[in-house]
Structure 1
Amino acid sequence: MLEKAKNTQEAAKINWGKVKNILSSAGVLIALIVLSAILAILSPYFLEVENLMNIARQSAINSLIAVGMLLTILTAGIDLSVGSVLALSSVVMAILIKNMGINPLLGMIVGLGVGAFLGFLNGIMLTKLHLPHPFISTLGMMNIARGLALILTKATPISGFPPVVQFIGAGSIGVVPISFLVVIGVYIIYHIFLTRTPTGRYIYAIGGNIEAARLSGINVEKVLVIVYTLSGLMAAVGGLVLVGRVNAAYPLAGLGYELDAIAAVIIGGASFMGGVGTVWGTLVGAIIMAVIRNGLNLLSVSPEWQTVIIGSVIIGAVYLDVLRRRMETKTK
């Protein structure tokens, strides 16, 4: 009898452990469901199809930037330049298409190339100049890219783009925004990249322990350059979607976007210490940010208070990361 009772207790412990693992991995999704349920109660318009598609459209730009930010945070780094890179890449594209009459598709490709090149420079400054932290290199790039965007446009927006440019940011297939379909496609690619390729595994290894990664033969500098190049590229993709959505490119675009991207990554379960995080968690984190903004608008919260609330969410997201690390330390 005692043996049977002991086995029953052990089984209960194992089952509870499984439940804890499921809750831990699905926690961010549960948070999104709870938040959506609360907003559905507070506003009858929240669950309308048009509003849900609006949330999908609003989340697209941050989702695209956030997946690039995820790569940097996985390596225990950060990219503060993404908002400015978005602005510069989009205004270069706009100048080529509107002012120089270049083919729109070629102009978009060049714009994406500008974003990737700026990210590449961030990686080079970090690895070849041996700057102490990516905070320094990306902070410098944030100012350089923003200044160049203002110089190139003389601080004036450029508007009126051909349909092919607008389609990516404002088009839809049925009720589903093209921009959100782009997000899903990008996230599938990055999921495969991080989980099925050697470079993806190296990124996690570097974030877990950079010295151990070096000793195991990983070319850390090469991987970091790839990571920051991809972060710049994703900022440029976000800029392309933004231009299509508002039908304008302006040098002050992307202000504060780096904070939203960081919040989405951390809310999605990644750690500032590196080595922990998933693309799907990041996507849910970006959607949570969009749901919060949408809900505040539906509830007629003033822009001033919205800023306060979003700032509090960012602080809360970082604190959640601190709590997660404490819990992991206690369980070890």
Structure 2
Amino acid sequence: MDLRLQKKKNGKIDIKNLLIRSGLYLVLFLMLVMIVVKEPTFLSIRNFKNILTQSSVRAIIALGVGGIIVTQGTDLSAGRQVGLAAVISASLLQATDNINKVYPDMGQMPLIVVILIVMAIGAVIGAFNGVITVCLNIHPFIVTMGSMTIVYGINSLYYDFAGASPISGFSESYSHFAQGSFNIFGFRLPYLIIYATIAMVIMWVLWNKTKFGKNVFAAGGNPEAARVSGVNVILTMVLIYALSGMYYAFGGFLEAGRIGSATNNLGFMYEMDAIAACVIGGVSFYGGVGRISGVMIGVIILTVLNYGLTYVGVSPYWQYIIKGAIIIAAVAFDAMKYAKKH
């Protein structure tokens, strides 16, 4: 934080403005300190690796949500899309000798084929959300709340068709792809971290080095001005929603493989973590503001807190309360920063 930006005209530090910009981070830091004081063993290489591994799938989902928030939108269907992709991936990638195989007569499908299938489905769902939002001028909160319910219903029907019991017993290649790791300087680096890094780099390039990225931020900052400037706002919005759906789908593919099974309830509330991570990381609900680095930092901060609270034995119910309070606080600080600029 550049303190020069927080100084008043008389040269003194503007404490109020500094707290508005940094207050949430201070609260989160104090919570982390309390966790470490209670359980000093929390600071270990093993926990650090676990946190990065858990952050990986969350980061991929948050990167998808982040693009939508930049356009002044939100996506409540993200978690259910993750669940749909997970169940489809699980059903198509069971081992051939699995006696509970959903498709017993089907041979071993290549991983890339399944990835492309679920990402195509994610793109269609995302594009649907984008078209309804832009063409019918309906708030994305309502649109994605409706699609959240629709996707969950479709997933539940498919899950019932698959036997209505946890889908597991995956092929070795799928399990290795999601759970594997390689040795680097004596440290086992999970593949999930590599996938999240690749997803981050791709999104960073799209946001910062392409005309599409410039159009997304222009449409998010001021849609009318973007239209006047020649930006195809409708196409841009549909594409960013479709891209987000592809990210959710890939996240669901990895999540099922990481856990080792999938049910129709997988992905429940994942969108809350993703939205919270984005806002904590500085992606503004008022549109046109956000950085990939901020999204990643927000994901790691939230994962550290989730993991830390579990580590010290805090009830999951209290964790929901704390997480909800963090989301409200993040949006409130964002609103105050916006008010300061206008």
> In which range does the TM-score fall when normalised by the shorter chain?
0.7 to 0.9
CA-CA distance at 1:28 after TM superposition: 8.0
Give TM-score scaled by structure 2 length.
Answer: 0.84
In the TM superposition, 1:70-109 aligns within 5 A as 70-98=66-94, 99=103, 100-105=106-111, 106-109=113-116
Distance 1:196 1:325, change over 3 A: same
Question: Is 1:115 aligned to 2:122, yes or no?
Answer: yes
In the superposition, the TM-score normalised over structure 1's length comes to 0.87
Which of 122, 145, 153 pairs up with 1:139? 145
Tell me which residue corresponds to 1:5.
none
How many residues align? The count is: 316
- Asked if the contact 2:53/2:192 (under 8 Å) is kept, the reply is yes
Q: CA deviation at 1:16?
A: 8.5
Distance in 1 between the 2:12 and 2:210 partners? 33
Question: Which residue of 167, 189, 193 corresponds with 1:180?
Answer: 193
The letter of the residue matching 1:294 is: Y
In 2, are the aligned partners of 1:28 and 1:281 still within 8 Å (CA)?
no
Instruction: Name stretches of at least 5 consecutive residues in structure 1 with no aligned partner.
Output: 1-11
CA drift at 1:177 = 2.0
Kept after mapping to 2: 8 A contact 1:131/1:137: no
Residue pair 1:69, 1:79 contacting (<8 A) in 2 also: yes
State the secondary structure of the residue aligned to 2:271.
helix
Cα distance in 1, alignment partners of residues 317 and 90 from structure 2 = 31
**SS of structure 2 residue aligned to 1:176:** strand
Separation in 2, partners of 1:80, 1:185: 25
SS in 2 for 1:258: helix
Amino acid of the residue matched to residue 165 of structure 1?
A: Y
Tell me whether 1:159 sits opposite 2:159 in the alignment: no
Q: Distance in 1 between matches of 2:9 and 2:177?
A: 50
Structure 1 vs Structure 2: percent identity of aligned residues?
Answer: 37
CA distance 1:25–1:109, change in 2 (3 Å): farther
**Structure 2: gaps (5+ residues):** 1-7, 95-102
Q: Which residue pairs with 2:51 in the alignment?
A: 55
Task: State the one-letter code of the partner of 1:267.
Answer: I
Offset from partner CA, 1:251-278 (integer Å, 9 cap, x none):
1111111111110110000111100111
Per-residue CA shift, 1:233-255, capped at 9, x if unaligned? 11111101211111112111111
Distance 1:118 1:85 in 2: 8
Cα gap change, 1:304 to 1:37, in 2 (>3 Å): closer
- Higher helix share goes to which structure? 1
**1:166/1:243 contact within 8 Å kept:** no
How many Å separate the matches in 2 of 1:197 and 1:26? 31
Distance in structure 2 (CA, Å) of the matches to 1:181 and 1:39: 28
1:21-32 maps to which residues of 2 (within 5 A)?
A: none
Contact 1:104–1:162 under 8 Å retained in 2: no
Distance between the aligned counterparts of 2:274 and 2:268, measured in 1? 12
Provide the alpha-carbon RMSD of the alignment. 2.7
User: What does residue 270 of structure 2 align with?
Assistant: 257
Contact 1:28 1:269 in 2 (8 A): no
